[in-house]
Structure 1
Amino acid sequence: MTAPAAVNPKPEDEAAARGKALYDLGPTPVIACRQDPRFSYCLYAPSTLAERGEPPELVVAMHGTGRGFTGYRDAFAEFGRWNNCIILAPLFPIGVLGDDNRDGFKYMREGNIRYDQVLLAMVEEVAQRYRAKFDRFGLFGYSGGGHFTHRFLMLQPQRLWAASIGAPGSVTLLDPTRDWWVGTRNMAELFGTAPDLEAMRQVPVQMIVGAADLETWEITHQPGGRNWMPDANHAGATRPERLASLRKSFEAAGVSVQFDLVPNMAHDGLRAVPRVQDFFADILARRRRGGVKAA
């Protein structure tokens, strides 16, 4: 009896597989967000995704004012490989409304743009691309990304399994006596939701800043400035002081915080990354054992 002839893969199938391996695994090219192509992102996806016996987790690394998003993606690549995580690094460009605004994403609203919702759209796209489910993810941001991270936590705590807040220049305190962005009094009016403190209490939080991060020229708000409002500087003069005020605000609301004041470190987000990775690795280990309530 003659054995059946071997079925050779179609050239188009082979090309698709090679393209996926080249462009969807490892460090990816920059990808436009389908919901709003003004924004884009890049990824790191471990080449071993299909071989792992458990679904991947997602870590989002948010850039700062300098928009060094590929640098943060690359800094988390090894972590992603060994911890079975896809790394998502968004890019929110300067001046998307044509006004040269560097700060829009930090305060979550810019014109009719809601940056928390843009990020959630990116997360959903990545989940579809890799046939995964990311109901929750880890979020890290430093400097301008630290602005974004703690405000995203206030708006979308149910979407996070951990948040690492690095050296924001300005902070929004859980203060119902002051308006956004200094406080949260009118947050429901602006965003349709007030802080869900119970949900925030379920999210492990790290705050990290260098003890030598003491320059104030970029973070001191002046009357007439784009982000000026009463009490804009009341949380402290320096980044360590402002982050300590944020910690005090969180802890007063029952939100536990791991506070890392790094000796001899100035304003250096990439230098902070190893401590952030240790924090995330611990949370992931407990999450996978079923020991983190937010899971």
Structure 2
Amino acid sequence: MNRPVVATLGQEQADAAPAGGAVDGEARARALYDLERTTVFACRRDPRFSYCLYVPPAVGRGGEAPELVVAMHGTGRTFTAYRDAMAEFGRWNNCIVLAPLFPVGVLGDGNRNGYKYMQEGDIRYDRVLLAMVEEVGERYGCAFERFALFGYSGGGHFTHRFLILHPERLWAASVGAPGSVTLLDPERDWWVGVRNIGALFGRDLDLAAMRQVPVQMVVGAADLETWEITHQPGGRHWMEGANDAGRTRPERLASLRRSFEAAGIPVRFDLVPNTAHDGQRCLAPVKDFFAAVLRERRAAARQA
């Protein structure tokens, strides 16, 4: 579980307050912009990237430390919409919700997809997210050693690849409808497989750690359009085997499931009926999954 840090929002305000309570304006600003649906913050480590939060109003007032849930956007970058959709879950489950924004064309080339594959030029998006997590923990007096990660569409790309690289940082992962998948195939290079991840990322595949992370995969049963997900020779991310996992998103996610299960990683697979490519309509099973994992996680912590 997350270790509470000594300072909280309330303590920081009290420590900074001069006699007479002149900190009132700052306290009001923090309540307005730093709690519940927050403003948008630039990441200190790399201000090209930003994030918003949902923070339960009781955070910083003592009691049980919150958990952290990260909701990763897709290609449309609707990061505030995912934050808002997860806000009620965060409030009633005592979770801070972190919604990053990885903009299009960070390197000036219009690339919409760099974050999905974890590395773009000299940018390591996994490290950017970890910097955001550390920053949020410092702001709210929590040490988030582990967090839950959900992503849909382009966020589903990011989520399962982050899980492959950093399983020790996650207490749950929900992979929603990625257009392309990285199978746990030691005979193929990244991004189709994992043969060379040590050389690329400085981290070897840790299947034992991955088996400790509860994993969900979720996709709409009618999510069958292929125009955006079929790789063509000469494309930015083309490589041999790019389309081998299947034609549609459900087929590709089913291939990912089989790859995980063959490696001994259990997967909850949710095929949402009567649903095309719509992340908001796939959130109900994601919330159910995270809530169930949280119950077990907190019960185990109480018994420890």
Q: Distance in 1 between matches of 2:277 and 2:78?
A: 14
Q: Distance in 1 between matches of 2:122 and 2:297?
A: 36
Q: Distance in 1 between matches of 2:22 and 2:45?
A: 28
- The partner residue of 1:21 within 31, 37, 41 is 31
Q: Distance in 2 between matches of 1:290 and 1:118?
A: 30
Aligned residues: 287
**3-state SS in 1 of match to 2:98:** strand
Alignment of 1:196-211 (within 5 A): 196-211=206-221
Q: Distance in 1 between matches of 2:197 and 2:103?
A: 25
Q: Contact 2:60–2:141 at 8 Å: present in 1 too?
A: no
Q: Distance in 1 between matches of 2:176 and 2:27?
A: 39
Q: Distance in 2 between matches of 1:279 and 1:37?
A: 33
1:35-85 Cα deviation digits (max 9, x unpaired): 000000000001122346210000000000000000000000000000000
* Alignment-mate amino acid for residue 300 of structure 2: G
1:278–1:9: structure 2 CA closer, same or farther, 3 Å change rule? Answer: farther
Alignment of 1:103-122 (within 5 A): 103-122=113-132
Displacement after TM superposition at 1:19 (Å): 1.1
**3-state SS in 2 of match to 1:245:** helix
- The partner residue of 1:138 within 122, 128, 148 is 148
**3-state SS in 1 of match to 2:191:** coil
Alignment of 1:37-76 (within 5 A): 37-51=47-61, 53-76=63-86
- The partner residue of 2:300 within 272, 290, 293 is 290
Q: Distance in 2 between matches of 1:29 and 1:51?
A: 21
- What is the TM-score with the length of structure 2 in the denominator? 0.92
Q: Runs of at least 4 residues of structure 1 off by over 4 A?
A: none
1:124-161 Cα deviation digits (max 9, x unpaired): 00000001110000000000000000000000000000
Corresponding residue for residue 173 of structure 2: 163
1:68-124 Cα deviation digits (max 9, x unpaired): 000000000000000000000000000000000000000000001110000000000
Aligned identity (percent) is 72
Alignment of 1:82-97 (within 5 A): 82-97=92-107
Pairwise CA RMSD? 1.6
From the CA coordinates, give the structure whose radius of gyration is larger.
1
The alignment status of 1:31 with 2:31, answered yes or no, reads no
* Alignment-mate amino acid for residue 91 of structure 1: L
Q: Distance in 2 between matches of 1:80 and 1:151?
A: 24
- The partner residue of 1:259 within 269, 275, 281 is 269
**3-state SS in 1 of match to 2:60:** helix
Displacement after TM superposition at 1:8 (Å): 9.6
**3-state SS in 2 of match to 1:283:** helix
1:47–1:9: structure 2 CA closer, same or farther, 3 Å change rule? Answer: farther
* Structure 1, 12-21 or 44-53: larger mean CA deviation: 44-53
Corresponding residue for residue 240 of structure 1: 250
Corresponding residue for residue 203 of structure 2: 193
* Alignment-mate amino acid for residue 57 of structure 1: E
